[in-house]
Amino acid sequence: MELTNYLNAMRDASGVPFYPVVFQFFLVLTFALHIMFVNFLLGGVVVSIWARIKATPNSLRLSKALARGSTINASLAMVLGVAPLLFVQVIYDPFWYTANSMSAYWAMAFLLILAVAFTASYVFYLSGSDKAPGASGWAVLALVALLAAAAVIHALSVEQLLPQMWKTWLISGQEVNASGKGLYAFEWHRFLHFIAPSIAMAGVYLMLYAWFFNGRKDYDRAYLQETATLGANLALYATAAQIAIGLWWLFSVPMEFAFYKNPFFLVGAGMGAAFFLFLMTARANPIKNAPVAALIAFLSIFLMSYAREALRMTYTGKVGYNIFDYKLSLDWGSTVLFLGTFVMGIVVMAYPILVAVQVAKNGKESNNEGLAKLATALPVVWFLVVAGLGIVISLKNGTLF
Amino acid sequence: MYPFWEVPVWTSGIFIALIATFHILPSHLATGAFWFNVFIERKALKENRPGLLDFIKRYTLMILIFCFVYGSLTGVGIWFAATVASPRSISALIHNYVWGWATEWVFFILEIVTIYIYYYTLDKVSPKTHMRIGWIYAWSAWISMVIITGILAFMLSSDSWIRTGGFFDGFFNSTYWPQLFSRTALMLGIAGLYAIISASGMENEKDRNDVIRSASIWGMAGMVFGGIFSAWFLYKMPDAAKGLGLSGGLPYLKNMLYAAVVCYALVFLYMLVAGLLRPQLAGKTLGILMLVVLFLGIGAGEGFREGVRRPYIISQFMYGNQIIAADVPAKAIKSEKELFKDGFLAHIYFVPDGLRTITPENEKAVGHIIARHQCGNCHTFDADGKMRALPGLFTRLGMTSKDDIAGWMDAMEGYAYMPPFLGSEEEKQAVAAFLASKMQK
């Protein structure tokens, strides 16, 4: 059985319930959102350690704010990570399942390591006083664990890109290794290319923080200015480093891929460069420029995520795999269910977020009566519609009684 | 076939079992807790008793950390464990129910966003706004149960899906409603017990006792209705499942059911005595002990539900060893039974070149590879194994030689809880040779 046959034979017999390009789009979009919060989390922990150790009143205050933010970023990063995890299994299942099965203990360890990281970041936040977070050792533990988790998931991803190596890794002589203990691939440049942006994104995060609380009486101006300037500098220098690492990675991609000519890559890289140039000028007034910086940063991440996907398509295309010829078993019903729920979710979410922003900025909420009513009613309506559908179908199929 | 992950002594399934069992408490708490929260918050407002808000704060922080750190992690964990222990079955589920999971994911995000905002805006927004946020959380969390129950129930009773391939036909199947109702009731039971524990530390005596009383009424109602709906569930189970679980096809399953009932009864008694009648008796230590009891009860119940599905991992469709057992014409899926009977080895990619053709010298090694894929999801091969160790089982049947075992394998079709062996005569001999070699140790 040769590799291409294996890959295509392992594709799920059920096919995919909608056009692969749609799954691919959601895969990239949700991955970009996920990695952005991972960056906020990782970078935030780094800065909070530094600020905790520096131990001036302002830096302790910042450290505390970041520690609290880390717990929220952790939750968001995790829940946002679920979606790309789901979609990758839809269109790249032969790669995903093979790599995970080969390194099964690592896939399990990944979660255990994350549990350590999250616990440590909670302890760091909760064990402190009003003015400072807990001992920096906790944050260091969280950082080490987060990096370890990143390394594992990185290795699992690279294993997927090298299917021609799989047999070499698993088979030696007459033995097939079924221990699940091996971790087989690691690429420093690629790994660093995911880690370095954390510092840049922590910079953006600090700028946003200063922008957000700017004008509130309990936040003094000098503190916010100092924070935003720190943020802009971090973002600028880390982005410069990121560009260098990106070039290093680019040259390590097999030349035959001609990836430097790939339009997805060019657009993504262009956006990254634009971010760098913008930061050069934005440094003069980092508080005011924060929202635009955040927007450009997210666009760079999103486009780079598309470039990452284009690279995956190139790698998998080399071994005769193409997501666009996946067997299609169109299912409109469930597709509409998701898309409708997705849009509804955005509307519902807008309400609590709006309230939170109003409270944080002005100390009190404004009048949101219309949105409030809509947001509280929609989940109930959702349930009534789905339950109604369920009852009709159950009666039709005779499964209710 | 994907690479097989062979876990000595326990089989890889132990990872799913451990993580899934742990996940039960946070997940049911996350879905149930806020109904009680919103109820108490309303009471605080209506009767103008700000002291009750003290409870809200404690209760929410506990949910936040316990559910949204360890609950979410173990939720993802079940998925990862299934990925590495049974990749083809999780793949089959995902390729049919991806939009269901994606829909559930939208509600996960709503849960996370609302619970943080709910927690951090307590006393900072108007009570009405705050309750609305709590309300959105309560619905979103419960809806995530409305969705996942469909997929869980599908694995036990796929009903007409096997003919139509329809998403909703498989989703709203014959055990869907009983499971949704009993899980909903039970989640209120769990929420009640948790509320008793976290309220027991409240300072104001009257507030404390009031909350505990209400919580125990919720909890007891949840347990009673949970019991009634569980009975409905047992009644609605597919016949094959009843045969295994209730009529003694696999006797241990019935014991699990008894264990679950005893645990639930104990918790019910606790809530009656130390909650409703004498709330001053409620305390942390005994409460947490009861939580452990309840946890064992639910664990037994879930184990029962998982157990009666055998030999399938997805009802009618896929065997526990990840082999497709039936045609699904609507999706152009072919059963793999006939295909594999002609030769299974050819369908495994990870086979050393020297083992492609079976010879007397290599037959044990080949047999090992085939046995992993056909028996290894449910059995360990180690003589000292803890999970249905094959050497022990064969010894009990009095079969120790290769010929005995090969003969027995011909008759596997007769077992209600095991898939048949699917492979050529030569391959069967190889598996028998491998298993016999394990016996001699």
3-state SS assignment for residue A240: helix
Does position A314 have pLDDT exceeding 60, yes or no?
yes
The CA distances from residue A330 to A14, A326, B47, B387, in Å, are 10, 11, 54, 40
Which tens digits make up the pLDDT trace of B222-278? 999 999 999 999 999 999 999 999 998 899 999 999 999 999 999 999 999 999 999
d(CA A63, CA A243) in angstroms, rounded, equals 28
Q: Could you tell me which residues come within 8 angstroms of residue B273 by beta carbon, excluding any fewer than 6 positions away?
A: B281
d(CA A163, CA A166) in angstroms, rounded, equals 5
- The secondary structure of B333-350 as a DSSP string is B--SHHHHHT-SGGG-S-
Helices (H), A162-289: 166-170, 188-213, 221-252, 263-282
A59 CA: distance to closest CA in chain B (Å): 23
Strand partners, A328: A16
Does position B350 have pLDDT exceeding 80, yes or no?
yes
Name the nearest CA neighbour of B183 among B157, B161, B152, B160: B152
> How high is the pLDDT of residue A97?
98
Residues of A in contact with B160 (CB under 8 A): 397, 399
Please judge whether A352 and B106 are an interchain contact, meaning their C-beta atoms are less than 8 angstroms apart. no
Does position A318 have pLDDT exceeding 60, yes or no?
yes
Q: What percent of chain B has pLDDT over 90?
A: 85
B177 CA: distance to closest CA in chain A (Å): 7
d(CA A391, CA A389) in angstroms, rounded, equals 5
Does position B441 have pLDDT exceeding 60, yes or no?
no
Q: What are phi and psi of B101, to 5 degrees?
A: -65, -40
Which tens digits make up the pLDDT trace of A88-143? 999 999 999 999 999 999 999 999 999 999 999 999 999 989 889 999 999 999 99
Q: Supply A131's token pair.
A: 């003015």
Question: Does the beta carbon of B54 lie under 8 angstroms from any beta carbon of chain A?
Answer: no
Q: Could you tell me which residues come within 8 angstroms of residue A163 by beta carbon, excluding any fewer than 6 positions away?
A: A3, A7, A95, A98, A316, A319
The CA distances from residue B97 to A335, B104, B137, in Å, are 10, 11, 24
Tell me the HSE value of B334 on the side-chain side, using a 13 A CA sphere.
6
> How high is the pLDDT of residue A401?
77
Q: Supply A60's token pair.
A: 């302790």
Please judge whether B117 and A335 are an interchain contact, meaning their C-beta atoms are less than 8 angstroms apart. no
Chain mean position to CA B235:
20
- The secondary structure of A115-160 as a DSSP string is HHHHHHHHHHHHTS-SSS-S-HHHHHHHHHHHHHHHHHHHHHHHHH
For residue B146, the chain A residue with the least C-alpha distance is: A383
Which tens digits make up the pLDDT trace of B24-70? 889 988 998 899 999 999 999 899 998 888 888 888 988 888 888 89
> What sign results for the dihedral spanned by CA atoms A368, A373, A374, A375?
positive
> How high is the pLDDT of residue A71?
94
Name the nearest CA neighbour of A12 among B281, B331, B138: B331
Confidence band of A216 (pLDDT split at 50, 70, 90): confident
> How high is the pLDDT of residue A1?
63
B307 CA: distance to closest CA in chain A (Å): 22
In this structure, the dihedral spanned by the alpha carbons of residues A143, A206, B69 and B213, taken in order and rounded to 10 degrees, is 140
The residue to which tokens 């942006």 are assigned: A197
d(CA B169, CA A395) in angstroms, rounded, equals 11
d(CA B357, CA B365) in angstroms, rounded, equals 11
Which tens digits make up the pLDDT trace of A16-39? 999 999 999 999 999 999 999 999
The CA distances from residue A234 to A202, A220, A280, B428, in Å, are 8, 22, 12, 64
Supply the mean pLDDT for chain B: 94
Question: Does the beta carbon of B119 lie under 8 angstroms from any beta carbon of chain A?
Answer: no
The CA distances from residue B192 to A388, B26, B35, B59, B176, in Å, are 29, 13, 10, 11, 24
> How high is the pLDDT of residue B210?
93
Which tens digits make up the pLDDT trace of B358-407? 999 999 999 999 999 999 999 999 999 999 999 999 999 999 999 999 99
Closest partner residue to A93 (CB to CB) among B80, B91, B166 is B91
Chain mean position to CA B321:
18
Question: What ipTM was reported for this prediction?
Answer: 0.95
Does position B440 have pLDDT exceeding 80, yes or no?
no
Domain boundaries, chain A: 2-173+186-330, 333-401
Does position B213 have pLDDT exceeding 80, yes or no?
yes
A71 CA: distance to closest CA in chain B (Å): 9
Does position A287 have pLDDT exceeding 70, yes or no?
yes
Q: Could you tell me which residues come within 8 angstroms of residue B90 by beta carbon, excluding any fewer than 6 positions away?
A: A89, B79, B82, B83
> How high is the pLDDT of residue B170?
97
The residue to which tokens 């956006």 are assigned: A271
> How high is the pLDDT of residue A372?
97
Q: What are phi and psi of B312, to 5 degrees?
A: -90, 155
3-state SS assignment for residue B275: helix
Average pLDDT over residues A181-208: 95
Which tens digits make up the pLDDT trace of A328-362? 999 999 999 999 999 999 999 999 999 999 998 88
Chain mean position to CA A326:
26
Which tens digits make up the pLDDT trace of A152-180? 999 999 999 999 999 999 999 999 999 99
**Cα three-residue angle A347-A352-A354, rounded to 5 degrees:** 85
Task: Point out the least confidently predicted range of A168-182, A367-381, B29-43, B327-341.
Answer: B29-43
Q: Supply A112's token pair.
A: 């255990």
B279 CA: distance to closest CA in chain A (Å): 31
Q: What percent of chain A has pLDDT over 70?
A: 100
> Which CATH number is A2-173+186-330 given?
1.20.1630
Burial class (CB in 10 A: 0-12, 13-18, 19+), B353: exposed
In this structure, the dihedral spanned by the alpha carbons of residues A139, A144, A150 and A155, taken in order and rounded to 10 degrees, is 180
Helices (H), B200-315: 205-236, 239-245, 251-271, 284-307
For residue B362, the chain A residue with the least C-alpha distance is: A174
Please judge whether B355 and A355 are an interchain contact, meaning their C-beta atoms are less than 8 angstroms apart. no
Q: DSSP letter at B421?
A: P
> How high is the pLDDT of residue B50?
86
Q: What percent of chain A has pLDDT over 90?
A: 91
Which tens digits make up the pLDDT trace of B128-178? 999 999 999 999 999 999 999 999 999 999 999 999 999 999 999 999 999
Does position A367 have pLDDT exceeding 70, yes or no?
yes
Question: Does the beta carbon of B126 lie under 8 angstroms from any beta carbon of chain A?
Answer: yes
Q: Could you tell me which residues come within 8 angstroms of residue B133 by beta carbon, excluding any fewer than 6 positions away?
A: A351, A352, A355, B114, B117, B118, B121, B125
Best residue in A87, A116, A341 to probe B by mutation, most B CBs within 10 Å?
A: A341
